């Protein structure tokens, strides 16, 4: 697994979202944000997530989608419950995943972060394969982007407290750290 010259993960299925733009400083990739997503909540299909990130979601398809009308969001990566990886935005571009956010005194986390969505919810346990794949992805990103480091891996709830709760109580941070060899 590696990041190619187009800032794409070579093993990821490329989906290409329009919900991105140029970073103000392309060399400043210094934060990794872990999210979760499930549309509708608890559903294991990926088609609605693809549609949301690619501006094709029919908001009349499910009653819970009404608040997603005209929402333009994306993430760099999505790791499905089966471990498959989809990439929507190249890492050198700014994906629209963090919203109103700040970390370590810096606002606008989208400017300097990579967003990784895990298919799931705050309360449902993530799959072992998701942790293994996430760990492998994080190791690759830490090697490829020198301003990233293990202490710069956060959950969405840490950069948008009170507004976001993901990846939630079901996410095992210790498990992730063991995958990237930070815990013995």
Active-site residues, by number, are 117
Tell me what percent of the chain is helix, strand and coil, each rounded to the nearest 5.
Answer: 25, 20, 55
Residue 122 contacts residue 168 (beta carbons within 8 Å): yes
Residue 89 contacts residue 74 (beta carbons within 8 Å): yes
Q: Does the CA dihedral 119-88-162-174 come out positive or negative?
A: positive
């Amino acid at each position: 697994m590696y990041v190619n010259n187009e800032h794409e993960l070579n093993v990821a299925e490329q989906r290409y979202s329009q919900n991105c733009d140029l970073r103000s400083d392309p060399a400043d990739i210094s934060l990794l944000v872990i999210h979760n997503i499930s549309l509708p909540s608890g559903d294991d299909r990926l088609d609605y997530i693809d549609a949301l990130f690619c501006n094709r979601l029919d908001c009349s398809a499910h009653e819970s989608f009404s608040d997603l009308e005209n929402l333009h969001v994306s993430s760099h990566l999505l790791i499905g419950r089966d471990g498959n990886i989809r990439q929507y935005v190249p890492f050198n571009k700014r994906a629209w995943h963090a919203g109103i956010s700040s970390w370590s005194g810096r606002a606008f986390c989208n400017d300097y972060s990579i967003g990784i969505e895990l298919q799931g919810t705050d309360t449902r346990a993530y799959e072992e394969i998701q942790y293994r794949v996430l760990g492998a992805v994080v190791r690759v990103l830490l090697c490829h982007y020198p301003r990233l480091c293990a202490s710069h891996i956060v959950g969405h709830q840490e950069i948008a407290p009170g507004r976001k709760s993901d990846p939630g109580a079901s996410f095992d941070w210790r498990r992730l750290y063991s995958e990237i060899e930070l815990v013995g």
